[in-house]
């Protein structure tokens, strides 16, 4: 298994509260990603990072922010959680030039916003 | 609008038979296609891929076929095994997209013993 740890694995929170999800990798990969998985939509890219302090928006970035202060950590923050952000969140890592198949996913965080 | 679509949310197959999972795409720029497999409570894992310069790629029991004119690809699993029961995601990318993938909605495959 690729060394990717997501925390927490499960979280229940209330609408309007801030939430931070953490992704930690031990592979020293340069690229990190946050996806969300919803029924019928597959996985959709929220934000990604191509290096420390270098991040960019993905397909569904509204309501989310990210930070990457160290190579190994990529944080996803929901500033004010809404019920539409109930989803399973996956972190992924890759290295440029290693081929697109080399995209490794964490085990996911199940987030419920009540 | 979804650029990659998997129109069958679920598929049930008998053990030993062939499983065929389908995927359609709309973006002509896509030139690389992948299938991922996902078990419950785990992240997706890479299964097989195909470049647009090919129309078939085979890896053991898994074969992916690409029909560029129809913008359609399919994953064949022969013979199907109960351990193949999972959700399968089709994904697509293009040369200058780096490692950015666009995923389909997934198909849940159930292989019955």
Q: Give B-chain residues touching A55 at CB under 8 angstroms.
A: none
The strand pairing partners of A68, in sequence order, are none
> How many Cα neighbours within 13 Å face the side chain of B107?
24
Model pLDDT, residue A102: 75
pLDDT at A1 over 60: no
Model pLDDT, residue A20: 98
- Please answer yes or no on whether A41 and B89 come within 8 Å at the CB atom: no
Across B15-85, the runs of DSSP E, i.e. the strands, are: 19-25, 32-38, 45-51, 56-59, 62-67, 72-77
Confidence of residue A2 (pLDDT cuts 50, 70, 90): low
Model pLDDT, residue A12: 97
Model pLDDT, residue A101: 67
- Please answer yes or no on whether A100 and B49 come within 8 Å at the CB atom: yes
C-alpha distances out from residue B24 to A12, A98, B62, B104, B110, Å: 35, 26, 18, 9, 21
Confidence of residue A95 (pLDDT cuts 50, 70, 90): confident
Return the number of CB contacts < 8 Å for A and B. 54
Confidence of residue A96 (pLDDT cuts 50, 70, 90): confident
What's the pLDDT tens digit per position in A35-89?
A: 999 988 889 999 999 999 999 999 899 999 999 999 999 999 999 999 999 999 9
**Tokens encoding A19:** 């939430």
Between CA B24 and CA B6 the distance in angstroms is 6
Closest CA to A47 of A71, A68, A27, A26: A68
Mutate to test the interface with B, among A35, A43, A57, A98 (most CBs of B within 10 A): A43
Number of domains in chain A: 1
Are the beta carbons of B80 and B13 closer than 8 angstroms?
A: yes
Q: Give A-chain residues touching B51 at CB under 8 angstroms.
A: none
Between CA A45 and CA A37 the distance in angstroms is 9
C-alpha distances out from residue A7 to A20, B3, B62, B74, Å: 9, 31, 33, 35
- Please answer yes or no on whether B99 and A44 come within 8 Å at the CB atom: no
What's the pLDDT tens digit per position in B1-46?
A: 789 999 999 999 999 999 999 999 999 999 999 999 999 999 999 9
Mutate to test the interface with B, among A23, A42, A92 (most CBs of B within 10 A): A42
Model pLDDT, residue A114: 95
| Domains of chain B (ranges, CATH numbers) | 4-112 (2.60.40.10)
CATH of the domain at A29: 2.60.40.10
What's the pLDDT tens digit per position in B38-71?
A: 999 999 999 999 999 999 999 999 999 999 999 9
Q: Give A-chain residues touching B49 at CB under 8 angstroms.
A: 100-101
Residue A14 sits in which domain range? Answer: 4-113
What's the pLDDT tens digit per position in B72-112?
A: 999 999 999 999 999 999 999 987 766 688 999 999 999 99
Are the beta carbons of B25 and B71 closer than 8 angstroms?
A: yes
- Please answer yes or no on whether B89 and A43 come within 8 Å at the CB atom: yes
């Amino acid at each position: 298994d690729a060394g990717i740890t997501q925390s927490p694995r499960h979280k229940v929170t209330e609408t309007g509260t801030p939430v931070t999800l953490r992704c930690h990798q031990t592979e020293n990969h340069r690229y990190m990603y946050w996806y969300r998985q919803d029924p019928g939509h597959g996985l959709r890219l929220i934000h990604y990072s191509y290096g420390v302090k270098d991040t960019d928006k993905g397909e569904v970035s509204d309501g989310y922010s990210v930070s990457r202060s160290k190579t190994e950590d990529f944080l996803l923050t929901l500033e004010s959680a809404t019920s539409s952000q109930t989803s399973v969140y996956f972190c992924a890592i890759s290295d440029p030039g290693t081929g697109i198949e080399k995209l490794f996913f964490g085990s996911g965080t199940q987030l419920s916003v009540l | 609008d979804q650029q990659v679509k998997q129109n069958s949310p679920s598929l049930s197959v008998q053990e030993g038979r062939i499983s065929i999972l389908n995927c359609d795409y709309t973006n002509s720029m896509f030139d690389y296609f992948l299938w991922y497999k996902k078990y419950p409570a785990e992240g997706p894992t890479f299964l097989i891929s195909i470049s647009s310069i090919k129309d078939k790629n085979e890896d053991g029991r898994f074969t992916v076929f690409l029909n560029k004119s129809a913008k359609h690809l399919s994953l064949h699993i022969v013979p199907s095994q109960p351990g193949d029961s999972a959700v399968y995601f089709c994904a697509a990318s293009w040369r200058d997209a780096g490692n950015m993938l666009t995923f389909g909605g997934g198909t849940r495959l159930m292989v019955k013993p």
